[in-house]
Structure 1
Amino acid sequence: MLTRNQRLDELPVTKKHAKILGASGIGWALDAMDVGLISFIMAALATQWGLTKTETSWLGSVGFVGMAVGASLGGLLADKIGRRQVFAATLLIYGIATGASALAGSLAVLMILRFFVGLGLGAELPVASTLISEFSPRSVRGRMVVILEAFWAVGWILAALIGTFIVAGSHNGWRWALALGCVPALYALVVRMSVPESVRFLESKGRHDAAEKIVNDFESSPMLFDTRSRPVPRPGVEADSIWAPTVRRRTAALWAIWFFVNFSYYGAFIWIPSLLAAQGFSLVRSFTFTLIITLAQLPGYAAAAYLIERWGRRATLASFLIGSAISAGLYGLSTAEWQIIAAGCLLSFFNLGAWGALYAIGPELFPTNIRGQGTGSAAGFGRIASIIAPLIVPPVLAFAGTTGLFAIFATAFGCAAIAAFTLPELKAEALS
């Protein structure tokens, strides 16, 4: 007789799967919108409030301080009280904090509120990917997590649109942009009511009746796609901590990848609108360039979603990281408008495809009892890099220029690719 988890693993893709993916994805997109908005608000407030480059850097970094704390705490709480509870609570926290940021009258107040925004965001992201990974049919698990991550591009595109047409549209445009952050607070209620709790989590807490009901709901849901395939046997991985001998090598590799990818991604994309403005482009024009570059994220996710079940997790992640390294180098050498846009689009394509593969591979590396902690701790460690990256941009620019800055980002992507090759390949294998 199959266990509940095996029954979930062997299901086709049903309407129930589509519903949970859509509900989680909208929350993911709202997260991305909030993170993306700060890059446009930084550029606007540097002019309106006369911020120095150091002050602007701290405005970009303080949210990531909150994200580092939130990612670590969120993963631990997800293993203690459940994935769904943490998912909804974090949406509520960052939605309220973002809305309140619209009323900030000073840089200090805005930075305090941005910390709480980051706290909610950091806890939500690894928890959502864990939830989707635990519900997805085994044969398309990686693809479904990449599709979830693709909602990030939707949110970042929304941020670019808001930045271009609202932030740059009026003196108080940045306030109206932040006021839209109240939307996640309302959406948290939808999540709480519509997203089921993880079956694996319920079983680990002895709530077998609740787990059985959820599995029955998925089994009775109408089929959308028949993706079933024969199971791939493997011995279960057991560990009581993320540094246990059976998993510590993959923990170290995952932490390294998260660190280097966060460093390059946030160092580049948080600063791109401001860098373009500093190169002499108007605020509207620099925001428009950023919008075009952001659109390239969608095909990057699509390619990663296709390849991750063809090439496997490790090959897809490493390939997109190598592409990111090359693209970052090209961006640093770009001077003409077409070169900036072309290199920026390539960087968006490869970097966001790598993010999709990274979120897919993380939850598969750990057993149920430490899965939230494993993904959350890696995200938390990575956020240290996202704090550092915006802060180093001004001094590196002064010393080595844009070429030197993006050479550093390219090197970090290369280091992440090397770490990716050390991870185990878990394509089509059952979660332990």
Structure 2
Amino acid sequence: MTASSEPLNSAPEPRPPAPSPAERLDRLPFTRKHGRVLTGSGIGWALDAMDVGLISFIIAALVEHWGITKGESGLIVSVGFAGMAIGASLGGLLADRIGRRQVFALTLLIYGVATGASALVGGVGLLLLLRFIVGLGLGAELPVASTYVSEFAPARIRGRLIVILEAFWAVGWTASAVIGYFLVPASPDGWRWAFVLGAIPAAYALIVRWGLPESPRWLIGRGRADEAERIIADFERSAGIQAPVEPSRAAAASAVAAAAPLARSSGARVASLWSREFRVRTASAWLIWFCVNFAYYGAFIWIPSILVDAGFSLVRSFGFTLIITLAQLPGYAVAAWLIEKWGRRSTLSVFLLGSAGSAVLFGTAQSEAAIIASGMALSFFNLGAWGALYAVTPEIYPTSLRATGAGWAAGVGRIASIIAPLLVPLILAAGGAALAFTLFAVFFVVAAAATWGLVDRGGTPLDDR
């Protein structure tokens, strides 16, 4: 009898460790499920942009029909941004506490109802109150939506998907320009019908609440691993990937432990943003958000009114604004491509510097061709920068702080968006468009410098600090 070359009691080959839930999310290809999350969130984003964009056209119409002053115009804009500052901060805290999807749907409902009610106002006082309520919803929606999508996106394309999400802003802003051009000037009540269209998000909130899944990463962080497993397995089936027959209990337990909240109370989460680990990136993010908000809203909210003051008719100024707005989409497209090629910080800083140069050119433009060309360049670079900023901000924090960090950065930015509309009339009176847009350029340059205090997490797992 020949002795076997194999030991009789040889141990079986050890099985490779089961992938963690986060690894399973990151290995997925882009599927229809991802497309549904991206599109569902993007529609909410576009409706948000439509509301913000419409107010610039409505203000110009109210100046003509109600005879409101520039000070009252600035107050209408700023009170909305005051609501957005509070909404962004509270929305992020709530999203880390009760879930991304829940807060996203709630914000859509709040600002949709308040926008629709704005169609019925008969004076500036009530309009100011409703614009503040609208701002609460709008401010919370954006950082929560970007956090939500980033937590579903596979790591290798996460930055690109967030820029594409932000590109829905251009869709909504273009819709507002179309409504502003065709509907607002059509009759003395055209602005009221514009507000009626802005009520669409209230109905859309129901679709979000029941049609989109909760973030598995957030569920794991709250100890709800079984719910997260069902959602991840659903995405794997959509990709044609066989989910583990019996997911590793050890892997799930390890994932829950790794995603355990760094802080459980709201105050502790805000304090954690300024811990040794996060303080530099938090300071940099807040500075960038402040500068970009000041320059963006200072410029784009006032462009229709600036053009009217330059001697163009209401309809003609709205037409110029519509053309300028169309350049936002290619700006997003280029940023979406570059963000995975150059990285987050490089893409963001280049687009911010391009915004600075374009702002100077727009402020000094004299001819119609120069106004349109420099305005389109400003749209291209500025909105590409916004896409990169929304991509990088959620990535610099772990899951338990992600919505809080993104929300507070956005909230600080909204402080600038409150200040800018109030200061712009004073700046225009002192030195005209040239002075105003030179100041905006300075803010863009400061923001470009601050990008280098962020961390670039392109292609890395979200929960890896």
TM bucket, shorter chain: over 0.9
> Counterpart amino acid of 1:364?
E
How far off its partner does 1:22 sit? 0.6
Alpha-carbon distance between aligned partners in 2 of 1:345 and 1:195, rounded to the nearest angstrom: 35
Partner of 2:311: 280
Distance 1:22 1:340 in 2: 33
CA distance in 1, matches of 2:431, 2:210: 52
- The CA deviation at 1:386 is 0.2
| 1:212-291 paired onto structure 2 within 5 Å | 212-222=229-239, 240=263, 241-291=272-322
Verify the 8 A CA contact 1:44 1:167 in the aligned structure 2: yes
Secondary structure of the residue aligned to 2:275 is coil
Cα displacement string for residues 277-316 of structure 1 (whole angstroms, at most 9, x for unaligned residues): 1111000000000000000000000000000000000000
Partner of 2:52: 35
Match of 2:384 in 1: 353
Matching of residue 413 in structure 1 with residue 430 in structure 2: no
> Runs of 5+ in structure 2 lacking a partner?
1-17, 242-257, 264-271
8 Å CA contact retained: 2:29, 2:239? no
Distance 1:398 1:183 in 2: 38
Q: Pick one of 80, 98, 106 that aligns with 1:89.
A: 106
Q: Distance in 2 between matches of 1:314 and 1:84?
A: 29
Q: Output the amino acid matched with 1:140.
A: I
Aligned partner of 2:14 in structure 1 is none
In the alignment of these two chains, the number of paired residues is 421
Q: Is the counterpart of residue 176 in structure 1 residue 176 in structure 2?
A: no
Q: Contact (CA 8 Å) 1:14, 1:223: kept in 2 or not?
A: no
Q: Is the 8 A contact 1:21 1:148 kept in 2?
A: yes
Conserved? CA contact 1:239–1:246, under 8 Å: no
Counterpart among 321, 324, 331 of residue 355 in structure 2: 324
1:166 equivalenced with 2:177 (yes/no): no
Deviation at 1:239, TM superposition (A): 5.3
Query: 1:303 aligns to what?
Result: 334
Does the aligned pair in 2 maintain the 1:26–1:151 contact within 8 Å?
yes
* SS of residue matched to 1:421: helix
* 2:24 alignment partner AA: R
Alpha-carbon offset, residue 354 of structure 1:
0.2
Assess if the C-alpha contact under 8 Å between 2:84 and 2:137 holds in 1. yes
Identical-residue share of aligned pairs (%) = 63
**In the alignment, structure 1 residue 112 sits paired with structure 2 residue 112:** no
1:7 lines up with 2:32 in the alignment:
no
**3-state SS, counterpart of residue 335 of structure 1:** coil
1:393-412 to structure 2, matched below 5 A, reads 393-412=424-443
C-alpha distance in 1 between matches for 2:147 and 2:77: 27
Distance 1:223 1:45 in 2: 55
- Are 1:149 and 2:180 an aligned pair? no
Q: CA–CA distance in 2 between the matches of 1:254 and 1:28?
A: 21
**C-alpha deviation, 1:222, in angstroms:** 3.7
Contact 1:36–1:159, Cα closer than 8 Å, also in 2: yes
- Cα distance in 2 between the residues matched to 1:343 and 1:30: 27
Task: Tell me by how many angstroms 1:223 deviates.
Answer: 6.7
Q: Are 1:125 and 2:156 matched, yes or no? A: no
Deviation at 1:6, TM superposition (A): 1.1
Instruction: Supply the distance in 2 between the matched residues of 1:59 and 1:71 (Cα, whole angstroms).
Output: 19
Q: How far apart in 2 are the matches of 1:82 and 1:181?
A: 26
Deviations 1:118-165 (A, max 9, x none): 100000100000000000001000000000000000000000000000
C-alpha deviation, 1:248, in angstroms: 0.8
CA displacement at 1:2 relative to structure 2: 1.2
Does the CA-based 8 Å contact 1:167-1:173 persist in structure 2? yes
Aligned to 1:315: 346
**1:57 aligns to 2:88 (yes or no):** no
Q: Is the CA contact 2:323–2:376 (under 8 Å) kept in the aligned structure 1?
A: yes
Off by >2 Å, runs of 4+ in structure 1: 236-240
Q: Report the alpha carbon displacement of residue 194 of structure 1 after superposing the two structures with TM.
A: 1.2
Q: Quote the residue 1:341 is aligned against.
A: 372
1:310 aligned counterpart, secondary structure: coil
Question: Are residue 430 (structure 1) and residue 464 (structure 2) matched?
Answer: no
Q: Which residue of 2 aligns with 1:207?
A: 224
Shift of residue 115, structure 1, vs aligned partner? 0.5
The CA distance in 1 between the partners of 2:199 and 2:350, in whole Å, is 38
Calculate the aligned-residue CA RMSD, in Å.
1.3
Contact 1:15–1:223 (Cα < 8 Å) also in 2: no
The 8 Å contact of residues 239 and 247 in structure 1, kept in 2 or not, is answered as no
3-state SS of 2:188 partner: coil
Could you tell me which amino acid in structure 2 is paired with residue 188 of structure 1? Answer: A
Query: Quick one: distance in 2 between partners of 1:61 and 1:421?
Result: 30
TM-superposed deviation, 1:427 = 1.2
- Give the CA deviation at 1:421: 1.9
Does structure 1 retain, via aligned residues, the 8 Å contact 2:31–2:239? yes
Does the 8 Å CA contact 1:64/1:386 hold for their aligned counterparts? yes
**What letter matches 1:130 in structure 2?**
T
Partners in 2 of 1:187 and 1:239 — Cα distance?
Answer: 34
- Out of 382, 391, 396, the position equivalent to 1:365 is 396
Cα deviation for residue 401 of structure 1 reads 1.1
Query: 2-side partners of 1:376 and 1:391: how far apart?
Result: 23
User: What is the CA-CA distance between 1:422 and the residue it aligns to?
Assistant: 2.0
Q: Distance in 2 between matches of 1:286 and 1:69?
A: 32
Q: Which amino acid aligns with 2:201?
A: P
Give the drift of 1:65. 0.4
Greater shift in the superposed pair: 418-427 or 236-245: 236-245
Q: What TM-score, normalized to structure 1? A: 0.96
Q: TM-score, normalised by structure 2?
A: 0.89
Q: Which letter does structure 2 place at the counterpart of 1:119?
A: L
**Separation in 2 of the partners of 1:67 and 1:421?**
27
- Supply the distance in 2 between the matched residues of 1:7 and 1:104 (Cα, whole angstroms): 51
Larger Rg: 2
Q: d(CA) in 2 for partners of 1:252 and 1:7?
A: 33
Q: Which position in structure 1 is the counterpart of 2:246?
A: none
Amino acid at match of 1:190: I
Q: Which runs of 5+ in 1 are unaligned?
A: 225-235
Checking the alignment, whether the CA contact within 8 Å between 1:33 and 1:156 is kept in structure 2 is yes
CA contact (8 A) 1:94 1:121 kept: yes
Paired letter, 2:203: L
